[in-house]
Structures are given as structure tokens and as C-alpha cells.
A = this chain, B = another copy of it.
Amino acid sequence: MAVGYQGLPKLHPVGGVRLGTTAAGIKKPGRPDLVLIELARGATASAVFTRNAFCAAPVILAREHLSAREPSYLLVNTGNANAGTGRQGLVDAQTCCEAVASRGGCEAADVLPFSTGVIGEPLPVATLTQGIPAAFSALVAEGWANAADGILTTDTVPKGSSRQVEIGGRPVTITGISKGAGMIRPDMATMLAFIATDAVVERDVLDGLLKRAAGLSFNRISVDGDTSTNDACVLMATGASGVKPEPGSDDFETLETAVTAVCRELAQLIVRDGEGATKFIAIKVVKGRDQKECTDVAYTIAHSPLVKTAFFASDPNWGRILAAVGRAGVPDLNLQAVTIHLNEVCIVSDGGRAADYEEARGQLVMDQEEITIRVDLSRGSAEATVWTCDFSYDYVRINAEYRT
């Protein structure tokens, strides 16, 4: 069970968005595996994709389609990533877009395809396209929770987040769903997130908003440091509320804060459901010279198998955290000035173990399920937070036994 999981919250419908989920038979019979998202005319959409050079066929096609126009439909299948499938993979993804377009009365370029599941198997195009009529029939505004189920692979829980804020005296909704359990499992290629708002946001403004929100959420999590061939995050703005916050205004700030909060919650849910995770760890690096050195330090800690196994063992092994900070490549770091805290307990100061540190106090923190590591570099005003989980026997089991 995911660390600190509270169940799926109420997911408010977003005007201009309908979702249809069906069991097309790509996975086990009866298991939802195909999700169709319909956007009303006039909606804008923005997406960020994996930086993996071996990106999957649907990523290539979705990026291409999105560059030309605003989408009418998003088609998401689980059970097969259509990755490592070469040229045939592109043909298959295009065929699926055409099937949606012919049923939906639009062009194939108006459809964005997304796939998640096993790498390297041919996409079962016939099975998938046979499910499309049922997905159309299932389209409803209240379809978010079903869709949250329909995009899962080996996740143990569905992931959703929803906010309603008031902008200029009128309600605006932001709702999103995500999936992913290894930060990326290339063989269950992996993180997907779909977020919609009924605010009016033009495409170039939406691009900037998504980039910033993802930078503070999906790009700040790590389960195992791997990066999928299929990662994608889509932000859609339908405009159905009629509310158009001007970029730079307080109203826009309200929207951006809410979108970022939804993204952060969806991202943290992926870490909480991390493979084999028993702890949820926030790594906060403060007083760095710039963002880059803060994230370098945070990720070096987050990716260290030694730190992660120590957390699994609830072992307040401050030496491993100190060594990770030391090898993060921060130039001219004044070690005497660096302090490291586990929650409120100072574990490192003056270049070594804090003088007043007692193991029993560190142990009290480590015994908790949610822990914050705070590294103070004491040389600037930048800061960054990264979320990760521990490294357990179950991580090895899940990833060693996945295909056997």
C-alpha cells in the first residue's frame, strides 16, 4: 500500500472535458485498459515528454500532433508501451489515432496517443481499436475516477488530485490523474499525468505554466533515478468557466498555485506508491547559490542506494547523507558551514556529526513514515525540494521478478 495514501479524493468534473474508460482486452479480460479523453472545441493543451532519446512511438507522434494544432482527443492505453518497436510502432500509433478520428469526426492529427506497459512488444492494434467505440460510449464529465483506474499498470492505488479556486469571484476547477510506481520502469514505461482546468489559457501561456508546474512537481521526484521511454504530462485548459486570468496578475498566480499544487500532489502520489516504498522522504536543500546546485545535492541524496537502504532500515546513518552531499559536485563548498537536519534534529554541523547529536533522537525521526532531510549549504538564497522513497527488499523483488 502506498505510504500515507488517503484514498482517491473527490475529483471535480472540469467543464469541456469528458472521459471514457473501457476494458479493451489489452491486459487481462475485464481490466480497464483504454481511456479516451475528449476536449471541447476551443480548449488548449500543453505537454511535457520524456527526455529519453529512445522515446516511444506515441511520444513521437503526440509531440508532432500537438505542435500543429490543439487536440480534440487523447487516447491512453495500458498493457503495452509501444516502445522499442521501431518504425512499425509509429505506424501502429497512427492507426489508433485514425480510428479515434474516424469515430470522432476529426483528423488523426487532432488525436494524441499515449501508451504505457511492457516495452518491446508490438502494439495489439486490432484489440485496441475494437475498444474505441466502447470508450466513446462511456464518455462522461464524471469519468475522472474511472480514468484514474484505467491508466494504471502495476500501481497499487489510483492517483488523483482536484482543486477549486475562486478567480475574479468565479469558480475555476483543476483536476488531474497520474500513474507510475517506479520513477520509471522502462519495461513498464511509466509516468503519465493528465490535468485539466476550465480556465481560459492561451497555448503559449499554458506552455509556460506547465513547464514551471512540472519543474516543481514531476521533475522533482525520484524512485530509482531511471527515466522512462514513455513519460508524458498533459495540461489542458478548456476555457469552459469563461475565466481568463491575465498572465502576471494575482488571478493568474491563484491559478498557477492551484495547478502546481495539483501537479505536486499527483507527483508525490507516484513516490508514495514507489516500488517497495515504506517511507516518503522530502529532501530540501536551502541557501544554495543557485537552483542547479540545490537540485544536484538533492538528487545525489535521492539516488544514493546507500541512503535509501538506510531509510528502509530506519537507520539514522548520517555519514551516508554527508558523503552524498560531499560527492554532489558543488564547487568550493565550505564544509564547516553546511548543516544537515533530519526533521528538527541537527545531525551534521562543523564538518562532522553535530556536537549535541544523540542517536536516540535521530532514531525517533527515522522510525516515522514521512521524513524531511534538510541540507543548508549556507552560501546563497536558492532552494529546491525533491521527493523520494526508500529502497527495500521489495524493490529488488518487484524488479527482479517482474518478467519471471
Contact = CB atoms under 8 A, between A and B. Distances in A.
Given A84-B353, A322-B119, A310 B400 contact: yes
Interface string A374-404: 0000000000000000011101110111111
Q: Copies of this chain, how many? A: 2
A12 to B, nearest CB: 35
Contact of A351 (B54, B182, B185): B54
B335 A53 contact: yes
Interface in A64-97: 83-87, 89
A398 B315 CA distance: 13
Residues of A in contact with B, size category: 35 or more
A120 B352 CA distance: 7
A319 B186 contact: yes
Interface stretch (A195-203, A224-232, A263-271): A224-232
Interface stretch (A130-138, A206-214, A243-251, A299-307): A299-307
Contacts of A400: 309-310, 312-313, 315
Interface stretch (A17-25, A142-150, A252-260, A326-334): A326-334
B315 A84 contact: no
A109 interface: no
Given A51-B327, A306-B186, A352 B317 contact: no
A399 B400 CA distance: 18
B319 A83 contact: yes
A75 B86 CA distance: 58
B319 A187 contact: yes
Nearest to A392: B396
A184 interface: yes
A226 B323 contact: yes
8 contacts: A52-B323, A52-B327, A187-B306, A189-B323, A226-B323, A229-B323, A312-B400, A393-B393
Given A227-B326, A229-B319, A305-B395, 15 more contacts: A53-B330, A54-B326, A54-B327, A54-B335, A84-B352, A186-B323, A187-B320, A224-B304, A228-B323, A303-B303, A310-B400, A312-B396, A312-B400, A315-B402, A317-B402
